[in-house]
Structures are given as C-alpha cells and as structure tokens.
Structure 1
Amino acid sequence: MTYQAIMFDIDGTLTNSQPVYTTVMRAVLKEFGRDFSDDDAQLTFPMAAEQALAHLGIEADEVDRFQVRYEAVMADHFTDIKLFPGIETMMAQLPSDVKLGIVTSQRRNEMDTVMAPHAPVMAHMDVTIGADDTPKRKPDPLPLLTALKRVNVTPENALFVGDSLSDEKTAAAANVDFGLAGWGMDPNASHQTVAHHFEHPADIAALYH
C-alpha cells in the first residue's frame, strides 16, 4: 500500500537522542540525590516524561522542579542531538504529494529547538504536533488523529513511524498502520501490531518505488 500521509515520532525515530537524554538525566538526577544507570536510560527513554519520573522515584511534588532543571540542562545539549543516518535522504525521496508530519511527546518549544538545526527535514513537514498542542498525549490517539485531520487524510490511508511501544499503541488506537523504526527501536519492547519493520530509513521511501 502507498500511503497518503506519513507521520513520524522524533526521539529514537528521526533523532538519535538517547545518548544526550542519558547525559542530561544523569546530571539532573544527581542533583536530586539519585543515580541513573544505563539500564534506567534504556528503560525510561521510550516512556512519557511523567511515567519515566514516576519509575525513577521522583515524587509528584518534585516533578515541576525536575522538569525545569531538565529543560535547562538539556538546552545546553540540543546541538549534540543528531539525525539518524539516512533520514534527510529519505525525506527528499518521498513523493511530493505525500503529506508528512511529526507527532511527538516533546513540548513544542523543545521540538522546535531540537529540530531547528535540521531545516531540510522540517521543510518537508506539513504538520507538527507537540505534547502541548492537544489535551491528551501519546499513546492516546488524539495527537495522531489531530495531525491527520489537519492534512485531510483518513487514518486508513496513513502510516505512523515510531520506535516504541507507546508509538505502536498510538497507531493502533487511531486505526493507523504502524511502521517500526528498527534503527532506534527499544530492544526490550515486544512489538505485536507492526505493518512494516523498517531496518533503514531508505526502506520507507522504497514503499513508493
């Protein structure tokens, strides 16, 4: 099937952000008197922020303070976040009439800052939905459905590409085919509802050739 729209997650799908996430989380958690192991990083990276902080033992009344510190430290590392190899080429190879977009759990200011150095990729985007653009976040289907509504494409004619179980659940709840980004996938996740398992970004463009 050739899709009329493809929506993308950012972290672990477009950008190889886990190394920077690990560095920043380790620094901020140290301020809160907590350690952050490589296993913690692997486990919490695909999670929504609230879920990750709860898993790490950050109390509810500490979450806002933690988020402020996290965003402040991350601001010094945004330029260290790189696209996965092949992303920019893949975007350029997709047909011009395919609607492209981003659906992410990042807040809009973070999304805009992370993707600012990657103008050639962002130039292809017809819609971007961040965590503060809808009242509910992934894995609720609302962000993905909102993006598709804005580009006037029905769910059955769309593909959502992501790397996590949360992305898979989002696609399933929205009745959208899910494409697993194998280059960034969580190795501990047990994916069940996958229409396409992409080993390289070029595999996405190959759907149209």
Structure 2
Amino acid sequence: MFHYLIFDVDGTILDTEAAILKSLQKVLVREGEEYQMEELRFALGIPGKETLRRLKLTDVERIHLGWAKEVLEFSEEVNVFKGLREILKVLADKPVKMGIVTSKTHQELKDEFDPFGLSSYFQYTINANDTEKHKPHPDPLLACLEGLGATQQDVIYIGDSIYDMQCAKSAGVKFALALWGAKTVGQFESADYILKEPKDILTLINH
C-alpha cells in the first residue's frame, strides 16, 4: 500500500491533448512552420520551452508566451478525465497524501488547472519553475518527495507519458500508467501498474 500518490497533470488528471497540440500547431503556423498534429505529439509531457527548443525555434521566450495565451483559447476542449474528480474526493478521506509533479509552469497551472477546483486535494506541487532539470530527470519527483516528507518506497507516481515513467524510474519510485491518458501500453512494459480507469487508483492504496 502506498501512502503518497503523486500525479502528473496533462494526460493524467486533465485531458489537455487537443488543446496543447492545436494551440501549438496554430502558433507554429504564425511562425511560418507547418506541422501535422502527429509530428507534434512528442510535446505531450515535457515543458513548453523544451518543446520549442526541440523544434529549433529561436525566440523561445516570445513564442512560449504566445503559446500560453493560445492554449487558453482552446480551454473549452480541456476536461477532467471522467471519474477522476470523484476518485480524488474518495482519496481525500483516506490516510494518504497527494502531490503533483507537472511540466506546466506556475502560471500555466494557475490559468489551466486551478479553474477546475482540484488544487486543494494536493498537499504539495512541483511545477516547471521549481527545478532546473525537468522530466525525465528525477529532480522534480525527488523535490516533491522532500516536500511531502515521503520516502521512495512509500510513493507511487501516476502519469501517462514515457517521460513520467523515466522520471519515476530514475527517482527510484514505482510508476503507474494512467491508460486513460496514454491510450496504449506499448513502450510501457516496465510500468509497475497499469490503471485502466481512474477508479483503479484505489487499488494502489488498498492492496
């Protein structure tokens, strides 16, 4: 049984895939760059600035600000995954503590996550501004463990991307795949748990 559950946000708590990819595509067109949606999927799970650097764009700061504004234009396409809000409510009454490790910046969390009213369920949050190195590096997860006062053996990280799994593994923490966000188990052979739907999270604290 795990006493600490740490969650990723995009693709794990919030279904943000369409908003992230459509807004990125739109911003890139403005910069004279055309990409198919499929070519941009690598952006899911890493900080926005890292995405822009990998796309070899020069004025990263300016473009990142434009992208952050553009994402909000697609906010009607962002939802909490079905059943997850209810599970967070159940977990809030259990003897577990919850944290967040996300590649979103502090401002992005404020703009894109806080409006859903879920922030109070989490005792500690690490965002992209909090550590110099980001997923798949272990630093963000280790910082969250420290903030929660948790040990590696007592923690599980729940995420949907390969970066989440690599981050967990390098931090010496167990990893549970949120299949509702990942949509496939390919690449995730070394996941410790496969969660098919949000209610499966409860099995992590009851076994």
The offset of 1:208, in angstroms, is 3.3
**Any idea what SS the aligned residue of 1:75 has?**
helix
More helix by share: 2
Amino acid at match of 1:98: V
Equivalent runs, 1:41-56 vs 2, <5 Å? 41-56=40-55
Q: 1:200: Cα distance to partner? A: 0.3
C-alpha distance in structure 1 between counterparts of 2:124 and 2:75, whole Å: 22
The answer as to whether partners of 1:159 and 1:178 remain within 8 angstroms in 2 is: yes
Q: Which residue of 1 aligns with 2:195?
A: 198
What's the CA shift for 1:50? Answer: 4.2
Equivalent residue of 2:99, what SS? Answer: strand
C-alpha separation in 1, matches of 2:152 and 2:53: 32
**Structure 2: gaps of 5 or more residues:** none
Measure, in 1, the Cα distance between the counterparts of 2:66 and 2:130.
Answer: 22
| CA deviation after TM superposition for structure 1 residue 51, in Å | 4.3
Q: Does 1:151 align with 2:148?
A: yes
**Kept in 1: contact 2:46–2:103 (CA 8 A):** no
Distance 1:115 1:165, change over 3 A: same
| AA matched with 2:131 | T
1:161 aligns with 2:187: no
Distance 1:188 1:161 in 2: 14
Once residues 92 and 72 of structure 1 are traced to their aligned partners in structure 2, the CA distance between those partners, rounded to angstroms, is 31
**Count of matched residue pairs:** 205
**Residue 175 (structure 2) aligns with:** 178
1: distance between equivalents of 2:200 and 2:32?
44
Partner residue, 2:126? 129
Identity of aligned residues (%): 26
Rounded to whole Å, the distance in 2 between the matches of 1:131 and 1:153 is: 20
**TM-score, with length taken from structure 1:** 0.90
TM-score normalised by the chain length of structure 2: 0.91
- How far apart are the structure 2 equivalents of 1:16 and 1:30? 24
